[in-house]
Structure 1
């Protein structure tokens, strides 16, 4: 069973995530749970325990005597106490997964818990580097943000953000900044490269987040509508591209050669600069669209043959690869917009707003592809014949700005007042 927070409880969750943003599980208390101290260990709760190395229910034998006991912090408005949790499987054929909270009935009699309360479970690393569970009652006896900080501290992302926050404030109030590359023609990446230089972040094509693998920086200037999420080349095995190009490293170029159009800027080359959306909102005239195939855990890149009208898979991405890239690049993200102007032959940027997001949800990512809110940009050109020669500009997954709040749950506007 999945538990949904009421609006006031969700506000508490949002406050917790301003401090720490590890995985979490929710459980709403029923009278039977409290009376028998027999709480359901749902799949999300079990996954949380397993990922933290605290308990693996698949390894627990049936019967309460075979359970695993672990210490936890119960953070409340009247103080933080240590409680013991026991994870066990019932002595029946199914071996139902259950757990108990020490002195739960006493806590109800004391008013610390009530029927219908929603409990928040998560874990953090203590001073000894060990994962420890903490519990917060989102409905009754709820601690303040300061009390939570005092009990378990900040996570790494929050600490890093607090560290760079003064520099971000300085950049936003600092006026116009010269393009970090100096004079020259404008490139879309200039606004981001200049910001990274101001933040003393080494400009590179790393696979994880820009700042210590914790915070990604995404910036855009005027005229840019979509926000870039990440780049990830598709797979081609079993597609027409694989049959004509045996070298996997060359298949992106082969794709542009096969499906591209006559390049206006580059004679004897084919270009392919298109945005690809869902079938209902393909957003291109070349017959391409994205298909989320839940049965096979892939997102397919489909092409409609203009003559035969056959819908053919030309490339695809595995769910696991997309999920890893999304989570690696966006544990948290600074979304920064900038104005632009020319000062002589130097392009300048004035950074004027910052949004902060954390922890994207992969299932939402897939749903936004289906809705046409997340798209894929193919950007490159190559020779028509012979050796591949041209340029790939980094084919990228992009999102409409108004859909970011859905993907990340909440977007915070950073204020320095």
Structure 2
């Protein structure tokens, strides 16, 4: 095997004659080309009554329904990679072989012992200081006078202003989430593996925060009266690496993880304007709409908002979601890695699952749906190895 050229390996893979180790090697090369995505690249407003009904139904069933399709795009993507990165393949394959032969690869992990994420975050300041936030609390409140937890207990012994700092950053790790009330009264729910940078005091003419990852925003409308006595609303802006979202007073979700191909802005209520970082034209969203920014274009579509904000209320909500995106969410919440032993499944998943459940309970639901995988430890990292789909007629 080790003397075969890369081109021959790809042809063998495409013909369906590759061994599991060879398939895993090709997937690893594709994964490397996609810069380490955890999952191989890895809303009409819903009223409260409707949400309660949905959750009741899904909690009763508690098993996502998975429809099987046969579309396989990964082998063709792998074949394209060989044109430019043929030399890299052999090097990655050798590394992958060592990984497969490593005793750590076969060390099983009990998924029932992997607990869900919780209230975990760090608050850091631009003077270099930081504090790990209390996991028994679920949020902090910023004000001109102090920084407190939501129950009123004080976070810092000294006033932040006395240290002459102007910016703070709230950061959640994998398996962490936290809520913050900004100095203007706006509320932000930060999802796992995300960060929000904000000023300790907002400007009187605009409010700007910077986001990496995913967050839900509930923005407070603030009037401002200028020297001419004319009253306007102070705009609120959310900056990410790929876009700028401008709002006046609204509820919306922004997801812009670095390892995702798309940036999604989903509007629950109010209105927002979305501007790509590489474009001059902006897009205005109405409630129930979502702006999807990909590499080359922006697409506006009507969506079920609940699917994109359920995480804030403690649920995974999958509505025709691909396994890659489903597993990417699990990877962030349970702090695990995902490795594909075969071509990535292309099978829409439906269902709502409580995020408070341990990983084993969630995986049991996905197994019933048709996904096949095993949980192992590789180099001290808990890794979900996706074995493919169970045969379905």
TM-score interval, normalised by the smaller of the two chains: under 0.3
TM-score normalised by the chain length of structure 1 = 0.27
TM-score normalised by the chain length of structure 2 = 0.28
Q: Which has the higher contact order (CA 8 A, sep 6+)?
A: 2
Return the index of the structure with the highest Cα Rg.
1
